[in-house]
Amino acid sequence: MSDLLRDDERDLVERAKRDPRQFGALYDRHFQQIYRFVYSRVREQTAAEDVTSEVFMKALKAMPRYQDTGRPFAAWLYQIAVNAIADRYRTLRPAQPLEDFHDLSIAGPALDDLAAHRDEVRRIWTLVESLPHQQRTALVLKFQEDMKIEDIAVAMGKSAGAVKLLIHRGVTRLRDEASTLRPVE
Amino acid sequence: MNSYHDPELEDVLQDDELRRVAAMLGTARTPEPPLDDAFRTDLRRQLMQEAWAMSDGRNSWWRRAFAPPGLAWAGAAAGLLLIAAVVVYTSSQPPGGLHQVIVQSPFDGNRSVALQQPILISFNQPMDHRSTEQAVQITPATNVTFSWDSNTLAVQPASGNLAPNTQYQVTIGSSAKTASNKPLATPQTITFVTQPPAAPSPSPSPRPTPSNALGEKQLSPLGGAATLTAQWSADSSSIYFVDGKGALDVVSAKGGAIVVIAPDGVTSPSISPAGDRIAYIRGGKIEVLTFATAKTEEATPTPAPTLVGWAKDKLVWAAGDGVYAQGDNGQTKIAPLPATETSKALSIAPDGAHAIYQLDQKLFVLDLGTGKSVEILQASATFVGWSPSGTLLLYATPEHLVVADPLGVTQTSLPAGEASWSTQDAILIGGDTDLFQVRPDGSGSTRVSNGTYHSPLWAPNGTSFAFVRGGSLWVGVAPLLPPQPTAADQAGVVVKSFMDARLNIQPDLATTLLDDSGKKAYAAGGLSLVITGDPRFSRYYVLTQEVVGTQPDAVRFVVRLVLTHGKIDVTSYEETLTLVRDVTSKSFLIDAATAGPHRDLGKGAEVVSVDVAADAIKVTFDSDLDPGTINDGVLILDSKGKRLDATASYANRTVTLSGLDLKEGAQYKLVVLSTVRDVLGHNVAAEYDLDVFGPTVKKHGSHKETPSSPTPSPVAAG
With helix as H, strand as E and coil as C, how does B455-508 read? EEEECCCCCEEEEEECCEEEEEECCCCCCCCCHHHHHHHHHHHHHHHHHCCCHH
* Average confidence (pLDDT) over B669-674: 94
Distance of alpha carbon A43 from alpha carbon B303, whole angstroms: 63
Q: Is the pLDDT of residue B63 over 70?
A: no
Q: How far is CA B318 from the centre of its chain?
A: 45
Give residue B554's Cα distance to chain centre.
Answer: 19
> In chain B, which among 58-77 make CB contacts under 8 A with chain A?
58
Enclosing H/E stretch for B514: none
Q: Give 3-state DSSP helix, strand, coil % of chain A, rounded to 5.
A: 75, 0, 20
- Work out the pLDDT band at B74, boundaries 50, 70, 90: very low
Q: Kindly indicate the confidence band of residue B697, based on its pLDDT and cuts at 50, 70 and 90.
A: low
Average pLDDT (B635-658) is 93
Q: Where do the domains of chain B lie, and which CATH numbers do they carry?
A: 41-193 (2.60.40.3710), 217-477 (2.130.10.10), 487-704 (2.60.40.1220)
What separation in angstroms does the CA of B327 have from each of B166, B179, B334? 69, 96, 10
* A104 vs B contacts (CB less than 8 Å): 27-28, 447
**B625 has pLDDT over 90:** yes
In terms of DSSP H, where are the helices of B258-341?
none
Crossing angle for the helix pair A73-89 and A23-42, to the nearest 10 degrees: 40
Instruction: Check pLDDT > 50 for residue A106.
Output: no
What mean pLDDT do residues B3-19 have?
A: 81
Alpha carbon B477 to chain centroid distance? 21
Helix B37-59 to helix A23-42 angle (10° resolution) is 130
- pLDDT of B485 higher than 90: no
Residue A180: is its pLDDT beyond 80? no
Q: Is the pLDDT of residue B717 over 50?
A: no
Q: How many CA atoms lie within 13 A of A104 on its CB side?
A: 26
Is-contact A119 B453, C-beta < 8 A? no
Q: Looking at residue B110, what is its pLDDT? A: 84
pLDDT band at B610 (very low <50, low <70, confident <90, very high): very high
Whether the per-residue pLDDT at B76 is higher than 70: the answer is: no
What values do phi and psi take at B127, rounded to 5?
Answer: -115, 155
A1-94: CATH topology: Rna Polymerase Sigma Factor; Chain: A (1.10.1740)
Comparing CB atoms, the residue among A52, A164, A174 nearest residue B12 is A164
Please state which architecture CATH assigns to domain A109-185: Orthogonal Bundle (1.10)
Distance CA B455, CA B419 (A): 7
B678 by DSSP, 3-state: which? strand
- Rounded to a whole number of angstroms, the distance from the CA of A119 to the nearest CA of chain B is 10
Q: At what angle do helices A23-42 and A3-18 cross, to 10 degrees?
A: 110
Q: Of B217, B229, B222, nearest to B472 (Cα)?
A: B222
Say whether pLDDT at A97 is over 80: no
CB within 8 Å: B51 and A44: no
Highest mean pLDDT among B118-122, B477-481, B615-619: B615-619
Among A45-49, B200-204, B560-564, B577-581, which is the least confidently predicted range?
B200-204
Strand order in the sheet with B322-327: B305-311, B314-319, B322-327, B330-336
User: How far is B264 from B247, CA to CA, in rounded Å?
Assistant: 4
Sign of the Cα torsion B292, B295, B297, B298 reads: positive
Specify the pLDDT at position B452.
Answer: 81
In chain A, ranges of CATH 1.10.10.10 domains = 109-185
Mean pLDDT of chain A: 78
Q: What is the ipTM, given to two decimal places?
A: 0.82
* pLDDT (0 to 100) of residue A117: 59
Q: Is B12 on the interface with A (CB under 8 A)?
A: yes
In this prediction, residue A114 has a pLDDT band, given cuts at 50, 70 and 90, of very low
Percent of chain B with pLDDT over 90: 44
pLDDT by residue (tens digit) across B271-296?
Answer: 998 899 999 999 999 999 998 888 99
- Give chain A positions within 8 Å (CB) of B32: 36
B715 versus B486: the higher-pLDDT residue is B486
Cβ-nearest to A105 among B58, B433, B446: B446
pLDDT at A101 over 60: no
Under 8 Å between Cβ of B713 and B682: no
User: For residue B639, which amino acid is it?
Assistant: S
Residue B348 main-chain phi, psi, to 5 deg? -115, 130
Q: Order of strands across the sheet with B188-193?
A: B136-139, B167-172, B188-193
pLDDT at position A112 over 60: no
Contacts of B481 (CB under 8 A, 6+ apart): B424, B426, B437, B438, B439, B444, B446, B702
Give contacts of A19 with chain B, Cβ < 8 Å: 55
* pLDDT confidence tier of residue B170, bands split at 50, 70 and 90: very high
* C-alpha span between B102 and B104 (Å, rounded): 7
Determine the residue of chain A that is closest to B48 in CA distance: A21
Residue B13 contacts A, CB cutoff 8 Å: yes
Quote the minimal CA–CA distance from B633 to chain A in Å: 40
> Quick one: which of B439, B504, B434 has its CA closest to B467?
B434
Q: Coil, strand or helix: which one is B61?
A: helix
Inter-chain CB proximity B34 and A45 less than 8 Å: yes
Percent of chain B with pLDDT over 70: 87
The average confidence (pLDDT) of chain B is 84
Per-residue pLDDT averaged across B157-177, rounded?
A: 90
- B437 — pLDDT class (breaks 50, 70, 90): very high
Residue B239 has pLDDT above 90, yes or no: yes
Scanning every residue of chain B, which has its alpha carbon at the shortest distance from the alpha carbon of A169?
A: B12
Q: What is the mean pLDDT of residues B531-552?
A: 89
pLDDT of residue A96 exceeding 80, the answer is: no
Kindly report the backbone phi and psi dihedral angles of residue B23, in degrees, each rounded to the nearest multiple of 5, phi listed first. Answer: -60, -40
Cβ-based contacts of B106 with chain A (< 8 Å):
21-22, 24
Report which secondary-structure segment, H or E, holds B223: none
pLDDT on residue B1: 44
Look at the pTM and tell me if it is higher than 0.80.
no
Q: Does A53 touch chain B (CB under 8 A)?
A: yes
| Choice between A70 and B600, residue whose per-residue pLDDT is larger | B600
pLDDT at B44: 83
Q: Which residue has the higher pLDDT, A21 or A98?
A: A21
Average pLDDT in the B139-158 region? 89
Provide the pLDDT for residue B562. 95
For residue B687, what are the contacts with CB-CB under 8 A and spacing of at least 6? B671, B672, B673, B674
The pLDDT of residue B31 is 62
**Span(s) in chain A for CATH 1.10.1740.10:** 1-94
How close is the nearest chain A Cα to the Cα of B496, in Å? 19
Choice among B44-48, B205-209, B345-349, B655-659 with the minimum mean pLDDT: B205-209
CA distance B405 to B394: 9
Lowest-confidence range among A134-148, B23-37, B239-253?
B23-37
Half-sphere exposure of A81 (CA within 13 A, CB side): 32
- The average pLDDT across B412-428 equals 91
Could you tell me which residue, B221 or A8, shows the higher pLDDT? B221
Nearest-Cα distance to chain B for A185, in Å, is 16
Residue B70 has pLDDT above 50, yes or no: no
Do B31 and A168 make contact, defined as CB atoms within 8 angstroms? no
Q: What is the pLDDT of residue B103?
A: 86
Integer Rg of chain A from CA: 18
Spatial separation of the C-alpha atoms in residues A157 and A78, rounded to whole Å: 10
8 A C-beta contact, residue B531 and residue B546: no
Angle (CA) B489 B495 B501, round 5°: 140
- DSSP label of B424: T
* pLDDT higher than threshold 80 for residue B446: yes
Q: What residues of chain A, 109 to 128, have a C-beta less than 8 Å from chain B?
A: 109, 111-112, 114-115, 117, 119-122, 124-125, 128
Is the pLDDT confidence value at B61 over 80?
no
| DSSP H or E stretch at residue B454 | strand B454-458
Instruction: Report the residue of chain B nearest A125, measured CA to CA.
Output: B25
At B601, give phi and psi (nearest 5°): -100, 165
